[in-house]
């Protein structure tokens, strides 16, 4: 095939209210490209639960951040939701954000910045969800839950819920520049009067 055409859905604003539509579009994209695996970012478990209820039949890997992100000894991902999504066959990866961790401690302690934070902020130019998509693809690959050779659906969002869906060939964080974005099928639009009427 010498060319590939795809459509993209733009949401007027980022956020949780797009989550159900993202899941519908994700299921459609998975069927269109015969994809069997979906990576889903979830902080509290809301998006994870929605994913296992909508993307039935897919191998779902839920990626959440490590305890202590918000405050010491606190895990935001709800333990009851974790049990629910695992009962539906999903795997849950709990890991440190690829673009933070020790780097954030250095920034906060010494008022400096690290290369990972620069990369994260460049990705945020395409929206918070794009940074999340890159990050969870590497977190899942580092945990050995996805292949670095096959495309997968990756669903991210802004703060809570989902608002960006992409098809990605993951990579390990140590090989960041090998990560490939194959397709972006939905995302929030930029905030501009011409497109947000």
User: 171 pLDDT exceeds 70?
Assistant: yes
Task: Tell me which of 40-49, 90-99, 105-114 is least confident.
Answer: 105-114
pLDDT bracket for residue 114 (50, 70, 90): confident
Beta bridge partners of 170: none
Name the DSSP letter for residue 19: H
Q: Structural domain boundaries of the chain?
A: 9-188
Q: Rounded to an integer, what distance in angstroms lies between the CA atom of residue 65 and that of residue 54?
A: 23
Q: Which is more confident, 120 or 132? A: 132
Q: Rounded to an integer, what distance in angstroms lies between the CA atom of residue 103 and that of residue 83?
A: 32
Q: Rounded to an integer, what distance in angstroms lies between the CA atom of residue 4 and that of residue 65?
A: 34
Q: Are 191 and 47 in contact (CB under 8 A)?
A: no
Percent of the chain at pLDDT > 90 equals 65
CATH number for region 9-188? 3.40.1380.20
Cβ-based neighbours of 147, under 8 Å, separated by 6 or more = 170
Task: Tell me which of 52-56, 60-64, 124-128 is least confident.
Answer: 124-128
Name the DSSP letter for residue 29: H
**To the nearest whole number, what is the mean pLDDT of the chain?**
88
Q: Are strands 91-95 and 180-188 parallel, antiparallel or unpaired?
A: unpaired
* Model confidence, pTM: 0.87
């Amino acid at each position: 095939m010498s060319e590939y055409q795809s459509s993209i859905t733009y949401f007027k604003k980022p956020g949780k209210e797009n989550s159900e539509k993202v899941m519908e579009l994700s299921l459609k994209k998975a069927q269109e490209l015969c994809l069997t695996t979906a990576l889903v970012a979830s902080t509290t478990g809301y998006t994870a639960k929605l994913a296992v209820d909508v993307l039935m039949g897919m191998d779902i890997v839920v990626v959440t951040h490590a305890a202590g992100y918000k405050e010491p000894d606190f895990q935001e991902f709800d333990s009851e939701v974790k049990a629910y999504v695992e009962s539906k066959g999903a795997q849950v990866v709990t890991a440190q954000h690829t673009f933070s961790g020790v780097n954030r401690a250095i920034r906060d302690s010494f008022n400096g910045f690290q290369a990972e934070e620069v990369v994260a902020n460049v990705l945020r130019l395409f929206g918070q969800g794009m940074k999340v998509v890159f990050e969870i693809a590497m977190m899942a690959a580092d945990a050995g839950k996805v292949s670095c050779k096959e495309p997968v659906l990756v669903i991210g969002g802004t703060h809570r819920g989902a608002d960006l869906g992409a098809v990605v060939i993951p990579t390990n964080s140590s090989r960041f520049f090998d990560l490939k974005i194959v397709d972006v099928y939905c995302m929030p639009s930029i905030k501009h009067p011409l497109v947000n009427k």
